[in-house]
Structure 1
Amino acid sequence: MEELNNIVIFACAAFAAGIWLAGVYSWHIPLLTIIALLLLIIALWRANTNCRHSFWPVIGLFFVAGMIYYSQDTTVRAGDISHYAGQTVSIEGVVDTVPEITGVDEYTKQVRYVVQVEKVKPEQEGIAVRASGKVRLSAQYKDKKIKPAAYGERIVVYGKVLELHGYNNPGQIDMTVALKRQNIMARMSAQGQAIKVISVSNTYSWRVALAGWQDGIVKALQKVMPVNDAAILTAVLFGGYEGINKNVIDDFATTGLIHILSVSGAHIALVAGLIRWFGSRLRLGSLATISIAALTIILYAVMSGLTPPVIRSAIMGLISLMAVILGRENYAPAALAITALGMLVYQPLLLYDISFQLSFGATAGLVFLYQRTVDYLARFPAWIAGPLAVTLSAQLGVLPLIAWYFNNFPVISFAANIIILPVVELVIILGLAGVIIYTIVPAVGNIIFVISSLLIGLVMMLTALLASVPYSSMYIPSVGITGSAAYYFVLAWVYGWRPLHMPGPGQLVEKWPRACSFTVFLFIGIFLAITWYPRPLTVHFIDVGQGDATLVITPRGKGVLVDTGGSFGSSNFDIGERVVAPYLKHYGVTAVDYLILTHGHQDHAGGAAGVAGDIRINKVMLAREEHSPAVQALLRTKPAIAVIPAYTGQSFQLDGVVFRLEQAVGDSETSRRGANGNEVSSVIRVSYGQHSFLITGDLEAQGEAMLLAKGVPPCTVLKVGHHGAKTSTTVPFLQTISPKFAVISVGYGNRFGHPHSDTIKRLAEMNTLVYRTDKQGAIVFKSDGKNIEVNTYIK
């Protein structure tokens, strides 16, 4: 049994490692195929003498197979719609999912479609050609008379095809890969009148019926309970955070219960456990009970919409039930590995899915660590040791992932799982029972919904109470691939993995107590030395789309943030909270010494409030202008923040790095010349040793002329003004500052046409190396004061 577990686990790990390596380096499939054939021949030859001798060739075969699978899966087919990116076309296809409809205002609604493309007709050509892939189509309907297309209908839409593009920063969840896993290869935007339905689907669709049923349940919940309670119960039953108060989501995240707000393995396990309990009480027999539990899991997965995370959780639940039927609970590690391997064979890109990583990491923690953790906690009462072991095992299994994606460990989760989780589980059970009963007897279902609402109120109260406890969550730094490998090696060693007869931690301390003590102090000394020893200055130009955000980290780790990006229009996506703050945490910046806003425009200051809500800010330097809505939101978020008006010539120094305002909004000179808008954007110079960075905000030609009149010295790196607009970065300005590098912070496919070709041409004529966030993602400069180097997220 143990040998079978080892074979399957190693095979799964090798396949996953092959996928990862193929994602890092490009490989030729013919070469990989030859290597796979050689490994197969070696495995068969060695198996002929002794099956055990073929172990490593077989594992190597799985490794190469993972590389081949990834390489083939990411190869874009010749007729794929993504090949038309940047072109204006007419596409013909079928609406592939139930459209998502949201109200923008009283008259306008936003509709999101996923369209399976069948034909494409480029604007310059008169013939439509066959095409493949799916398009994510966003459309606005301002005319109530125009009815959105429905699932299954064939439509024609005219518009510009755009590549999928997210925020390309380290630690960021890659939404582009997430869409490509669904075969969505491009995106489009259109007005409702540009979409024409050419054939109506009259066939029955279970997806449409399910969406209608879910909508009816949601409306029933909203009639008998507060809106926020209804949103929470909807999330628990069907997944998604829509309609839930942001503070409630933050409290759930702080207490480590955020996974409860989406259908996951915990929900499936709860349902299966409840059915098995009822079966034992009613003496239905093992086979009958497990069969009912399996059927219930399938129905629950269908009811929740069969989203990929739900499918994964359901498959894991069904395999666990199968192990129980066969009396092979000890094969749980192999069952988990087979499930993961099967899913990766079906979709190699799942390896990069955060939900896949967290669900399998947590489950692996439970499978491999739970029993030993219970033994370690034997001194505690059973009612505490059990839930505590579950939480600790799952958290240990995913700690490097939590560090990479969130940089936050919910310490209070141990208490939350003992105090709150039982109430949440009761809410899930009552909610599911209420949904089933409401479908048959609405009046009784409504009573159950009201009881669920009261329990949800209790859960929110307890969650808010625990979240407010000091140090309820703890910052943890990202450790990367090498650190993660070291972590899992040590974890396995502590929990009993002893390769090559390696002694355990207890044996080491018992045999060599002085050497162990010396080693511990040596590691502490090395850690303190690394922390104390000054590092290079790093200047990060963060990818925030069509906006600016620059992070400066001094040699001793102090942070200065210049601008914060910001979303346009009616989008409720908070760049500061969702992009900039996670980026800061990823690089160990838990407090910002200075936040400098070049001016109050949305694309420079819109994320400030979101950053301030998550990161401590000591001082803010603001332009002397009327406060924009973005700046007002910042001051409301942190009213006690020290606000410093910006003046030309102001400077401060941190760890030998000099920050100086070369030009500030509100100067008498700018007022006298009548400059306004972007012309009066503040300009900041960051100097360290022989190199300097000139950050110009949205400065245009007139502002550059004013700067030249004052006398501006050369710089090493120029943050190009106004995202590379034609009216910025003039020839006299470039000739004076003579930058070696230029960075353009700009959004992919933006409607402004930035950066302008004239600006790129002027930079090229100056032999300036140009980097762009829309093409290379986050751009990081490192300097020790003498040398300078640059790294980009996208190579």
Structure 2
Amino acid sequence: MLPGLWWLLPLLCLSIPLLCMRRLGLAGLLLGASAMLLFFNLQLSWLAILPSKASEHTIAGQVVEFEQSEYGPRILFRLRQLDEQHLWPAPLLRLYLSPSLSLTRWFAGQEIQGRARLKPLHAVANPAGFDRERWMLGQGITATGTVQLAQLSSPHAGPHWRDRWVATAEPLLAKLEQGAVLNALVFGEQHAISSATWQAFRYGGIVHLVAISGMHIALAAALGWGLGRLLAIPLSATVLSRWLPPACALGLSGFYVLLSGASLPTQRAFYMLCLWLGLRLLACRWSHWRIWWSTLALMLLGSGWSLFNSGFWLSFLAVALLLMLSLWWRRPGLWRLQLGMLYGLLPLQIALFDGQGLLALPINLLAIPFFTLLLIPLSFFSALWVPVWPTLAYAGFWLCDQLLSPAISGLVWLTSRFDGWFVLSARQQQHLWLGWALPIVWFFPGGRSLVCCLLFAQLCLFIQPAPGWQLHVLDVGQGLSVLIQQGTRGIVYDVGDRFPGGQSLAESVVSPMLQYQGIRQLDYLIISHDDRDHAGKWRWLEQQWPVHHLVSSAALHRAQRTCLAGVKERWGELTLSWLWPLTVVTGKENAHSCVLLITDGRFSVLLTGDLPARQESELIRRGQSPVTVLLSAHHGSASSSSLAWVQATRPQWVVHSAGYANRWGFPRAEVVARFNSVSSSQMTTADTGAISFTFGDESVAVTAWREQGPWYHRIEAWLGRD
């Protein structure tokens, strides 16, 4: 959990003696930790006055950015006042616009007042998949919501100069086959790139070339330096000849940082450039490492949210690796640089994305010279002419498109025929990290002994016995998805929701969790009934994974099985007993939910879907017995989990799969009280994240992901609301 402000006192008391002893490195580290602690406490303190449940508030502040997303129009908003209370520092919010405001023209810099429904930053929390909370904190966003009413304080304000520049370029780029990629390459606008193209970039390991980074800024600086040298020719006898090239380099690179949206990698490159040029002009000699550390400190002091930004760390680590490789090899070739970068970035790549592109090395050997020497300079030069001479700008973009189209077509063809993305399970990641460290520790003093220790650790991992069967209740928001696991075999019960934009929890949570747990085959894919928050994109999951049996109460597929009460079957060491429905049904209603009892003879798990109380009464009449773990029906709705049902099942643990601050108030207070009356331990996925039960011979181990994960997953506890 995030330490409180009182930790500042011991940190400062320790740093002062170190400063007096001239231990500047350690003292600087403690002072930096103090600054980060102060930053996060100040930035998050305003959440204490924001209720944990979504509620409506009066807001006032400034629009930072407007964008069209797949979920509708939204803005980044700097909140100055909340319910007429001034906030400092002003937090950054992501706000969606209600349908009544979707046609309003929104521009960066506009001041607005209105009413919005707000809630603290919260997203699903699972061991695998995209960590949206970390990503949003990396952007500085600490709350989300929906604007209900808004009044513009400056209704006649026009768009920002960058918005006008991009708006002028978009019609030119729209005529080109790869216009969306060029828009991202030049202006950092990535929203229009198709998912298929993004997947090709990811599998090919060239996302870093499309995202505007230090390479783009370096090219802009080089172009500015050359321009300054030309302008300085007639001024060779004056002092301006010395200052003009670096001034033009800083001016043009700084302009490009603003034009491209000022992402963290571009800021890092610009700060490094400023330091290097400033030291050069002042005739000060700093090592490359000193510049690297100074830039890192400046970035973190400027915004502590950079700590959570994956692009920030990938960018800085890449520069550090380049410096180390240049020391190891005086003039490393491109293939050595790529091999060193691939090896050095591997642990961070696995930690952030759970996988690695296998085609990254050969593709980058071809793509880096192509992008660096040809495509980026030409596209940047074309972008400069957009507001001045659009015809010339379009000619340059057209030439870029002619060069880029066959390259991207070839990349898509290659990545579609060769699965270029290798995903590692949790155990495989442990083996990889130990194997990755072997060549490094070899060169340490006593390195051979350390290598022997690492090899012994690898052996222990290999012979470590597999855990007993496991139940994973995934955090899918307002929905349900459960994974039952025996070794590398699994059963998935429901797949969560799907969204209007096309995304689904099956893609973002269920499939990554299967990969992370090392599941190789799905013996059963069970869809309890045909409700969107349970069925989601089940067909996508079936196409991605080998499914032996598709089971549902609804008619989903010709080859499926129908769940019917009375059927029992063995699955490894477990017995699967179908308890509901009694007859063939349509599967369209909650009352048609498949009810499944899983037991090993000692412990049992009961999955009930959205079964209402009336059907619970029928199961009681048929002899329902107590269970170890119960998933509350209908996410903890009062229409289910009757007192008679609670007393009949008497679960040791109850899990409510419900969304954070959901508008129905699930799990309902009366349901929680009923389970408390039989002394059941209750957990809600909105509060705990994914929950795992490991069933041993005599006991059950319970793990809640938010308790095991990083501190930002437990902000509610830090605010004292648990």
TM range (shorter): 0.7 to 0.9
Cross-structure match for 2:591: 679
Q: 1:773 aligns with which of 685, 695, 703?
A: 685
Partner of 1:549: 481
In structure 2, the residue matched to 1:99 is 66
Q: CA RMSD in A?
A: 3.7
Give 1:689-768 correspondences, 5 Å limit: 689-768=601-680
Per-residue CA deviation, residues 651-689 of structure 1 (Å, 9 max, x unaligned), is 55454233433325xx52x64xx9851111112223235
Superposed displacement of residue 416, structure 1: 0.4
Contact kept, 8 Å, 1:177 with 1:349, in 2: the verdict is no
Number of the residue aligned with 2:171: 219
Q: CA deviation at 1:30?
A: 4.1
Task: State how far apart, in whole Å, the 2-side matches of 1:612 and 1:274 are.
Answer: 52
Contact residue 593 and residue 610 of structure 2 kept, 8 A: yes
Name the counterpart of 1:657.
574
Letter in 2 for 1:661: W
Q: For residue 70 of structure 1, what is the aligned residue in structure 2?
A: 36
**1:12 alignment counterpart:** none
Tell whether the 8 Å contact from 1:591 to 1:617 is kept in structure 2 after alignment: yes
Which residue number in structure 1 is paired with residue 345 of structure 2?
Answer: 398
Other structure's SS at 2:144 match: strand
Alpha-carbon distance in structure 2 between the residues aligned to 1:601 and 1:246: 26
Report the Cα offset of residue 707 of structure 1. 2.8
Q: Is 1:185 aligned with 2:142?
A: yes
Q: Are the aligned partners of 2:488 and 2:521 in contact in 1 as well (CA < 8 Å)?
A: no
For normalisation by structure 2, the TM-score amounts to 0.86
The CA deviation at 1:317 is 4.4
CA spacing shift, 1:436–1:424, aligned 2, 3 Å: same
- Paired residues, number: 696
Q: Which residue of 2 aligns with 1:138?
A: 96
Distance, in Å, in 2 between the alignment partners of 1:534 and 1:98 is 50
- Give the match for residue 712 of structure 2: none
- Aligned-pair CA distance for 1:607: 3.9
Are 1:780 and 1:792, in contact at CA under 8 Å, matched by a contact in 2? yes
Asked if structure 2 preserves the Cα contact closer than 8 Å seen for 1:689 and 1:785, the reply is no
Q: Report the equivalent of 1:415.
A: 362
Does the alignment pair 1:256 with 2:256?
Answer: no
Q: How far 1:100 moved relative to its partner?
A: 2.2
Flag the 1:143–1:787 CA change in 2: closer, same or farther, 3 A: closer
User: What's the counterpart of residue 168 of structure 1?
Assistant: 125
Q: TM-score, normalised on structure 1?
A: 0.78
Q: Given residue 114 of structure 1, which amino acid in structure 2 is its aligned partner?
A: L
Structure 2 equivalent of residue 268 of structure 1: 217
SS at match of 1:728: coil
- C-alpha distance in structure 2 between counterparts of 1:327 and 1:590, whole Å: 61
CA distance in 2, matches of 1:267, 1:626: 54
**1:420 positional shift:** 3.1
Return closer, same or farther for 1:761/1:325 CA change in 2, 3 Å cut-off: same
**Partner Cα distance (2:599, 2:232) in 1:** 77
CA contact (8 A) 1:592 1:616 kept: yes
Corresponding residue of 2:532: 602
Match in the other structure for 2:490: 559
Distance verdict in 2 for CA 1:387–1:660, change over 3 Å = farther
Decide whether aligned partners of structure 1 residues 474 and 439 sit closer, same or farther in structure 2, where only a CA change above 3 A counts: same
Q: Distance in 2 between matches of 1:528 and 1:241?
A: 43
Preserved contact between residue 527 and residue 553 of structure 2 (Cα < 8 Å): no
In the alignment, structure 1 residue 588 sits paired with structure 2 residue 544: no
User: 2:60 aligns to what SS in structure 1?
Assistant: strand
Query: What is the rounded CA distance, in whole Å, between the counterparts of 2:5 and 2:42 in structure 1?
Result: 14
Measured against aligned partners, the alpha-carbon deviations of 1:250-269 in whole angstroms (never above 9, x if no partner) come to 11111111222321223334
Opposite residue 157 of structure 1, the aligned amino acid is G
Cα pair distance change 1:742/1:258, threshold 3 Å: same
Distance in 2, Cα, partners of 1:347 & 1:565: 36
Alignment check: 8 A CA contact 1:363 1:394 kept: no
Paired residue type of 2:573: G
Determine if contact 1:621/1:646 at 8 Å carries over to the other structure. Answer: no
Query: Over residues 12-69 of structure 1, what are the superposed CA-to-partner deviations in whole Å (9 max), with x where a residue is unaligned?
Result: xxxxxxxxxxxxx55454454235324422552x44xxxxxx4xxx444344334423
**Partners of 2:687 and 2:360 in 1: how far apart?**
40
Aligned pair partner of 2:377 in 409, 429, 432: 429
One of 316, 320, 327 as aligned partner of 1:360: 316
> Is contact 1:361-1:394 (8 Å) kept?
no
Any conservation in 2 of the 1:163–1:186 contact (CA below 8 Å)?
Answer: yes
The one-letter code matched in structure 2 to 1:186 is A
Percent sequence identity over aligned pairs: 21
Residue by residue over 1:540-573, the C-alpha shift from the partner in whole angstroms, topping out at 9 and shown as x without a partner, is 111111111112222x2333222111234x2333
Which amino acid is the alignment partner of residue 522 of structure 2? V
* Contact 2:165–2:387 (8 Å) recurs in 1: no
Cα distance in 1, alignment partners of residues 381 and 206 from structure 2 = 22
The 5 A counterparts of 1:464-503 are: 464-470=412-418, 472-478=420-426, 490=438, 492-494=440-442, 496=443, 498=444, 501-502=445-446
Deviation at 1:118, TM superposition (A): 3.6
Task: State the shift of 1:457 in Å.
Answer: 1.1
Secondary structure at the counterpart of residue 65 of structure 2: coil
Q: Are 1:34 and 2:1 counterparts? A: no
* 1:195 equivalent in structure 2: 150
Report the Cα distance in structure 1 between the residues aligned to 2:657 and 2:109, rounded to whole angstroms: 40
Residue 576 of structure 1, aligned match among 500, 503, 506: 506
Q: How far apart in 2 are the matches of 1:214 and 1:70? A: 35
Partner of residue 112, structure 2 = 155
Provide structure 2 residue ranges, at least 5 long, that are not aligned to the other structure. 234-240, 708-722
1:416 and 1:483 map into 2 onto residues whose CA distance is 26
Cα distance change, pair 33–102 in 1 and its aligned pair in 2 (3 A): closer
| CA distance in 2: counterparts of 1:477 and 1:675, whole angstroms | 34
Of 738-747 and 415-424, more deviation after overlay is shown by 415-424
Deviation string 1:730-788 (CA, Å, 9 cap, x unpaired) is: 12221111101111111112223322222112111121111011111111212213201
Q: CA deviation at 1:490?
A: 4.2
Q: Is the Cα contact below 8 Å between 1:276 and 1:290 reproduced in 2?
A: yes
* Contact 1:543-1:745 at 8 Å conserved across structures: yes
Distance 1:59 1:487 in 2: 31
Distance 1:245 1:260, change over 3 A: same
1:148/1:478 CA distance change after superposition, 3 Å: same
Per-residue deviation, residues 91-150 of structure 1 (Å, max 9, x unmatched): 24123313224698xxxxx432333334443xxxxxx44345344321133488x63454
SS at match of 1:474: strand
**Does 2:74 correspond to 1:112?**
yes
8 Å CA contact 2:553–2:587 kept in 1: the answer is: no
1:258–1:95 CA distance, 2 compared to 1 (3 A): same
Q: Does 1:209 align with 2:165?
A: no
The superposition leaves residues 218-274 of structure 1 with CA deviations (integer Å, 9 ceiling, x where unpaired) of 12211x313xx1111111112243222211111111111122232122333444566
CA distance 1:479–1:522, change in 2 (3 Å): closer
Letter in 2 for 1:608: W
For residue 278 of structure 1, report the CA deviation from its aligned partner: 8.8
- Contact 1:740 1:768 (8 Å CA) reproduced: yes
> In structure 2, what is the equivalent of residue 351 of structure 1?
307
1:646 alignment partner in structure 2? 563
Q: CA deviation at 1:472?
A: 2.9
Greater relative contact order (CA < 8 Å, ≥ 6 in sequence): 2
Distance (Å, rounded) in 2 between the aligned partners of 1:357 and 1:153: 32
State whether residues 240 and 261 of structure 1, in contact with CA within 8 Å, keep that contact through their aligned partners in structure 2.
no
Asked if 2 retains the 8 angstrom alpha-carbon contact of 1:547 and 1:604, the reply is: yes
Q: Which runs of 5+ in 1 are unaligned?
A: 1-24, 48-53, 105-109, 122-127, 376-381, 509-514, 636-641
Q: Is the 8 A contact 1:333 1:368 kept in 2?
A: no
